[in-house]
Amino acid sequence: MIFCIDKKYSQPALELVRLTSQSGYGFVYGGSQRGLMRQAAEEVKKLKGHIIACTWTDFEKFVNREAHKIHVAKNIPERIMMLLEKSDAIVALPGGSGTLDEITAIIEGRKLGLHRKPIVLFNTDGYWNGLIDQYQHMYEEGFLPKSPKELFFVSYDPKETMKYLSSELN
């Protein structure tokens, strides 16, 4: 299956990938060879950046073999923990149900105090608005003990994301 990602999502995401790579950050991701993640990994490779792929046994055959390091988890929850452990910060680019699963698990970990890593929802063209609204609704209705702003940062621009990450990681 070929995924054709609209340029309104891919161009800002790839600009962010360029900025992070040029700033010396590595690229830790699920190792996918499809969609926006494939494009992002190719961009990092062009810039001679460091790529770490975290996959799981059922998808190992699809992993990016050009990654500098490939880590294989037993299952998806272990893979999510691996992504978190190998990263200094988490940036959720627009993505599918796997990305949604990963980012909500990582936000939950922050809510529970299991980590303090910066989390960014890269909200190109309002892509994550539904999720942001849901977290705000859960907070307002008393189902979430911390406000969304305590759990994650919402960014609409690659430079804004870099400014936030610089302030949080330095």
Please tell me the predicted confidence (pLDDT) of residue 157: 96
DSSP character for 124?
G
pLDDT at 57: 95
Contact 108, 141 (CB under 8 A): no
Query: How high is the pLDDT of residue 2?
Result: 52
Question: d(Cα 99, Cα 90) in Å, to the nearest integer?
Answer: 11
Would you give the distance in Å from CA 129 to the centre of its chain? 16
Domains of the chain, first to last: 7-162 (3.40.50.450)
Tens-binned pLDDT, residue by residue, of the chain (170 aa): 456 789 999 999 999 999 999 999 999 999 988 889 999 999 999 999 999 999 999 999 999 999 999 999 999 999 999 999 999 999 999 999 999 999 999 999 999 999 999 999 999 999 999 999 999 999 999 999 999 999 999 999 999 999 999 999 98
Q: Give the pLDDT score at 91.
A: 98
In single-letter form, the type of residue at position 8 comes to K
Q: What stretch of H or E contains 56?
A: strand 51-56
pLDDT at 33: 86
Closest residue by Cα to residue 77 from 101, 107, 53: 101
